[in-house]
């Protein structure tokens, strides 16, 4: 064996893992993953087709379709009863058909441990699976939406984990990919911490984090060929402290940071600080009502960093005016020039810019 092929083999072996890593360096060309989160309200195939066609026209190439949420599903499921609006309409399969037609990927966006409000079927059927705070309450006092209190499953419940996992497997078998959300404990604050059910008596915070991490690993093992992502809180310290969500340890393919912040600089900071070397998706928040200019600037900031994807929460907060302004930024063939956050010394350039 001559030295040359040996060297070539060594180079290949060294470069393979490096090539597989996401570097977060600026990229040219359209942002690879251009996504929206979407809560389905459509009631027939024509309405679904119109939504997907609108996304396609706006340069969106992936929809995170809310599929299992608040303890129910938007499709006929063995594991989750249907939401009232989807008892006679299979929204997930309708979206799959429209997605194939328009070339838009449909990922099943699924709530994991959050299972809804007071009318949750899990309270009715499996109250013993629910997480309890240090006073024995099953409802969160800190996570409240329009007056409705959130309920979570206890991540230490073997039965609950199996039930959720089977539901995720079922949804993933239909969709193009799977995104796990609410992959955490309820928000803990002084006076209300989780979980304190009988199963969790010996758990410390490290054990709680490990239960979340291990559930992600179980999903990964059960769905080795599924493109798997998680939606998480950008600040790791806060995610761990208040939710036991140590997401840098998650075994997923892509991480979606819910960077619902006010400024482009905060978006860039969240992207740069993310301890994540695989594809990173920046979740931006048009729902916050910051205005189209801010969303465009945040998109440019994320694109400058060179993230693998940008996802907007959510489609319902994106009027045509915003979609049409974002499209050229998302689809730009070259990364935008650096923003002049720090003026460079020297005379101003005299060359006209296109
Ligand atoms: Zn528990």
The mean per-residue pLDDT over the stretch 270-281 comes to 96
Tokens coding 103: 């070339």
275 alpha carbon – ligand 1 mean position (Å): 29
The pLDDT confidence band at residue 279, using thresholds 50, 70 and 90, is very high
The structural domain count of the chain equals: 1
Give the model confidence (pLDDT) of 32-68 as tens digits. 999 999 999 999 999 999 999 999 999 999 999 999 9
Residue 336 has pLDDT above 70, yes or no: no
Tokens standing for residue 208: 């709680």
Tell me, what CATH number does 283's domain have? Answer: 3.20.20.80
pLDDT tops 90 at residue 5: no
Please give the average per-residue pLDDT across 177-197, as a whole number.
96
Residue-wise pLDDT for 200-249, tens only, equals: 999 999 999 999 999 999 999 999 999 999 999 999 999 999 999 999 99
Q: Tell how far the Cα of 194 is from the centroid of ligand 1, in angstroms.
A: 7
Q: How far is ligand 1, taken at its centre, from the CA of residue 204, in Å?
A: 11
With respect to residue 346, please indicate whether it lies within any of the assigned structural domains: no
Q: Is residue 71 part of a domain?
A: yes
The pLDDT of residue 351: 34
Q: Is residue 246 part of a domain?
A: yes
CA of 200 to the centre of ligand 1 (A): 4
Q: How confident is the model at residue 27 (pLDDT cuts 50, 70, 90)?
A: low
Q: Is residue 309 part of a domain?
A: yes
CA-based nearest residue to 197, from 189, 187, 208: 208
Q: Write out the E strands in the chain.
A: 33-38, 62-69, 72-73, 105-111, 139-145, 148-151, 177-181, 227-232, 254-258, 280-284, 309-312
Query: How far is ligand 1, taken at its centre, from the CA of residue 114, in Å?
Result: 13
Residue 61 resides in a domain: yes
Ligand 1 centroid, distance to 87 Cα (angstroms): 32
């Amino acid at each position: 064996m001559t030295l040359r092929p040996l060297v070539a083999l060594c180079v290949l072996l060294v470069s393979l893992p490096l090539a597989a890593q996401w570097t977060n360096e600026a990229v040219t060309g359209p942002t690879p993953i251009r996504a929206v989160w979407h809560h389905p309200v459509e009631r027939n195939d024509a309405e679904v087709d119109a939504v997907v066609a609108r996304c396609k026209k706006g340069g969106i190439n992936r929809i995170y379709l809310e599929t299992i949420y608040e303890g129910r599903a938007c499709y006929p499921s063995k594991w989750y009863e249907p939401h009232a609006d989807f008892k006679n309409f299979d929204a997930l399969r309708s979206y799959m058909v429209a997605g194939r037609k328009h070339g838009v990927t449909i990922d099943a966006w699924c709530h994991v441990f959050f299972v809804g409000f007071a009318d949750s079927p899990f309270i009715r059927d499996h109250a013993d699976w629910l997480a309890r705070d240090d006073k024995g309450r099953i409802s969160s006092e800190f996570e409240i939406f329009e007056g409705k209190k959130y309920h979570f499953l206890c991540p230490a419940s073997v039965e609950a984990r199996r039930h959720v996992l089977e539901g995720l497997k079922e949804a993933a078998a239909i969709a193009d990919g799977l995104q796990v959300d609410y992959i955490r404990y309820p928000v803990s604050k002084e006076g209300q911490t989780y979980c304190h059910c009988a199963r969790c008596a010996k758990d410390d915070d490290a054990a709680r984090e490990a239960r979340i991490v291990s559930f992600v690993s179980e999903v990964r093992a059960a769905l080795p060929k599924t493109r798997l992502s998680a939606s998480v809180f950008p600040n790791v310290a806060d995610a761990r402290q208040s939710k036991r969500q140590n997401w840098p340890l998650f075994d997923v393919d892509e991480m979606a940071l819910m960077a619902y912040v006010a400024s482009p600089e905060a978006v860039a900071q969240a992207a740069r600080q993310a301890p994540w070397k695989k594809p990173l998706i920046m979740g931006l928040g048009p729902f916050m009502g910051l205005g189209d200019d801010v969303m465009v600037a945040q998109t440019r900031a994320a694109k400058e960093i060179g993230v693998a994807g940008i996802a907007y929460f959510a489609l319902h907060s994106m009027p045509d005016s915003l979609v049409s302004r974002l499209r050229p930024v998302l689809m730009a063939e070259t990364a935008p020039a650096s923003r002049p956050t720090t003026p460079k010394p020297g005379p101003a350039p005299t060359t006209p810019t296109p």
